[in-house]
Amino acid sequence: MLSPFFNVSKFVIDEWNELPVTIDYKFNSEEKNHSMEIIKKKSNFPVTQKVTFDNKVGDCSLLVRYSDAASILPGLPREIAKYDIKAAKLKHAGDRDHKFKFVLMVSNNIHQIPCLENAQITEEWTEEKKVPKAKPAPAKEEKKDAPVEGAEAVPAEP
C-alpha cells in the first residue's frame, strides 16, 4: 500500500465475536437463579454490555461463562469468572421518592476475554427545600419640614 508502483484498494477489517457469553446471577434475597446471554455470537468486539436491575442493592453472586452454544475446545472450562458482590449502603434509603438501580458492566476486551468491568449503584431522589418567606421591609417615614441638602433655608415671613 505504501509503494507508488502498486495500487491496492482500501479495505476495512471487522472483528466479531466467535464465542457467545452468558451471565448467571442470583440475588441473595431471591431463590431463583437467572441467566442472560449478553454477548451474542458474531457481534463486534471490543464491546461493553450494561445490565441494569431496578430496586436492587447488589448482594448477589455472578458467574460469567461461555454460553452452551459456544464451541470451545473439549476439556476447557466454560466458566470464566465468578464474583460475589456485596450489598451497597444507600444514602437516602428512607426518602419517599427514592429510586435506585444496580448496574453491571461486562466487557469483551480486544483479546476477546469477557470480564466484569464495573458494578455500581445509581441513586435518584427528590429533595424539597423550604425557603423561608422574606419579611417585608418597614416603610421609611419622610420628614416634610426637613430642608433639602445644599439648599438655603428661607426665613418665614412675619
> What's the pLDDT at 96?
62
Return the domain boundaries, the chain: 21-124
Give the strands of the sheet with 34-39, arranged side by side. 34-39, 21-27, 60-66, 79-85
Answer CATH for 21-124 from 2.60.34.10, 3.30.420.40, 3.40.190.10, 2.60.40.1930: 2.60.34.10
Q: Among 26-35, 62-71, 127-136, where is mean pLDDT lowest?
A: 127-136
Is beta strand 114-124 parallel, antiparallel or unpaired with respect to 99-108?
A: antiparallel
> What's the confidence (pLDDT) of residue 62?
86
**Cell numbers linked to 12:** 476495512
The Cα–Cα gap between 17 and 39 comes to 8
pLDDT tens readout for residues 108-158: 888 888 888 888 888 776 767 787 887 777 766 655 555 555 555 555 555
pLDDT value of residue 149: 57
